[in-house]
Amino acid sequence: MRYSGFRVMKEGFFGQKGWKPAWRDPDPKPEYDAVIIGGGGHGLATAYYLAKEHGLTNVAVLEKGYIGGGNVGRNTTIVRANYFLPGNSEFYSHSLKLWEGMEQDLNYNVMHSQRGLINLFHSDGQRDAFARRGNAMINQGDDAILLDTDGVRKILPYLDFENGRFPIYGGLYHPRGGTARHDAVAWGYARGADQRGVDIIQNCEVTGIDIEGGVVKGVQTTRGAIKARKVGIVVAGRSGQVAQMAGMRLPIESHVLQAFVTEGLKPVIDHVVSFGMGHFYISQSDKGGLVFGGDLDFYSSYAARGNLPMKEHVMDAAMTLMPMIGKARVLRSWGGIMDMTPDGSPIIDKTGTEGLFLDCGWCYGGFKAVPGSGFSFAHLMATGRHHEPAAGFRLDRFRDGVGLMDEEGTGSQHNLH
Ligand SMILES: Cc1cc2nc3c(=O)[nH]c(=O)nc-3n(C[C@H](O)[C@H](O)[C@H](O)COP(=O)(O)OP(=O)(O)OC[C@H]3O[C@@H](n4cnc5c(N)ncnc54)[C@H](O)[C@@H]3O)c2cc1C
């Protein structure tokens, strides 16, 4: 079924009786050409591009819960291509281009809004670092504008410019950055994959990975054994646990990251704004809620909920940057499990087991990567070759130290990235 304005009107006239479920609810088949473990954004996008770009349609996505229940539906929805290091820069640039065509491609409204992202800086040193980053972005073909204090004041008049401790020196403006409705991205890819024949199987937890003579043979699940020639592990915060089923110990720690939303307000923040002296970033959703987040909770956990000290830290930063936020009431907060690598950059690679592939380590920045990761991982699974923009995301960089991509320059400590 194609979605269109005409269809919405027609259904309006005829009692909304013609809509069909966005994807089927099939039982698992005994065998597939490829199985994707994890129905988050990355898993669903991988299945979609396997079918669309490589004609591989005998594919199943196995999701232990429901589509959109993981990090893909828990993030603060920021989409950007403002990375600095070679390896990351071209990957996120490619991903943003896929975002820009996503709604037409999927025939699904993911509410992608390129409202512009502004990273604030508060010292001469930070200005230099952002100027370099902006130049790298422009060299990559993306957009970046360095604003001075007045430039920021014009766009974001509500910030506290008189703050003695953290004066605002300017900001790096990325006009093509923005937000999207996160769970709609999962639904759009699920629908697109389903239309091409992919089976999306919810409430189906993978409990084991079958390997014989170094070759993957399939998976064990709560709904029975499923044979597969290729298996992709795309389970974000659970990557360490699922990889262990194949005897792998990954360079990944799982940490909690929280987010917050206020009551709905009239439009007040029309960009994405990120504080440079504390971990705090904010945008306003189409429903009017101020959506914001901060840093990791700084301890490893598989609990998708956070703790009070980080809440206090984030609220502190919010009040420092924009005291007006003190009038808004926070309605909800939640947490997600982040798959942190030692250099803060992801992994898209084969494993030591033939037919077994790995896509993980997206840390707290994997929402914007959904289309790029799905595209590149599908390419790797289908062809056995790395897709060029993602060629740096190899697993062995953590063994030999060659090609590490420490975007934040914080060293090899998971919780500092
Ligand atoms: C609070 C918060 C804010 C964030 N903000 C941003 C942001 O602004 N911008 C940005 O780019 N990124 C952001 N991120 C990061 C981003 O959301 C993640 O990196 C990304 O969503 C992870 O990929 P995914 O969507 O595939 O993960 P998930 O949606 O978590 O998908 C993994 C799926 O695997 C399933 N699974 C696990 N184990 C099994 C199993 N054994 N069998 C079957 N299925 C299994 C899980 O149930 C889950 O649905 C944020 C994350 C959080 C938590």
Question: What's the pLDDT tens digit per position in 134-188?
Answer: 999 999 999 999 999 999 999 999 999 988 899 999 999 999 999 999 999 999 9
Average confidence (pLDDT) over 7-33? 96
User: DSSP letter at 26?
Assistant: P
Supply the pLDDT for residue 1.
Answer: 85
**In terms of Cα–Cα distance, which of 180, 202, 343 is closest to 272?**
180
Q: In this predicted structure, what is the pLDDT of residue 101?
A: 98
Residues in a beta bridge with 218: 210, 227
Query: What mean pLDDT comes out for the span 184-196?
Result: 98
Q: CA 45 to CA 268: how far, in whole Å?
A: 33
> pLDDT value at position 42?
98
Which pLDDT band holds residue 13 (cuts at 50, 70, 90)? very high
Report how far ligand 1's centroid is from the alpha carbon of 170 (Å): 32
Which is nearest to 179 in space by CA: 93, 284, 268, 70?
284
Mutate to test the pocket of ligand 1, among 234, 235, 345 (most ligand atoms within 8 A of CB): 235
Which amino acid type is present at position 7? R
Stretch 287-302: mean pLDDT, rounded? 95
Task: For 222-250, give the secondary structure using H, E and C.
Answer: CCEEEEEEEEEECCHHHHHHHHHCCCCCC
Task: Confirm or reject: Cβ of 336 under 6 Å from ligand 1.
Answer: yes
Asked if 276 and 152 touch (Cβ cutoff 8 Å), the reply is no
312-370, pLDDT tens digit by residue? 999 999 999 999 999 999 999 999 999 999 999 999 999 999 999 999 999 999 999 99
Q: Is the CB of 209 inside a 6 Å radius of any atom of ligand 1?
A: no
Residue 91 CB neighbour total at 10 angstroms = 28
CB burial of 229-257 (b: ≥16 within 10 Å; e: otherwise) equals: bbbbbbbbbbbbebbebbebebbbbbbbb
pLDDT of residue 415 exceeding 80? no
In three-state secondary structure terms, 188 is helix
> Is any atom of ligand 1 closer than 6 Å to the C-beta of 76?
yes
What are the helix and strand counts (H, E) for the chain? 10, 18
105 or 305: which leads in pLDDT: 105
**Which residues lie across from 230 on neighbouring strands?**
34
Question: Could you tell me which of 346, 360, 363, 342 has the C-alpha nearest to residue 411?
Answer: 342
Per-residue pLDDT tens over the stretch 261-284? 999 999 999 999 999 998 899 999
β-strands 59-62, 199-201: how paired? parallel
- When pLDDT is cut at 50, 70 and 90, the band that residue 298 belongs to is confident
Q: Quote the mean pLDDT of the chain.
A: 96
Q: Is the CB of 257 under 6 A from ligand 1?
A: yes
In testing the pocket of ligand 1, which one of 75, 96, 290 has its CB within 8 Å of the most ligand atoms? 75
State the pLDDT at residue 414.
79
pTM for the full predicted model: 0.97
Residue 292 near residue 76 (C-beta atoms within 8 A): yes
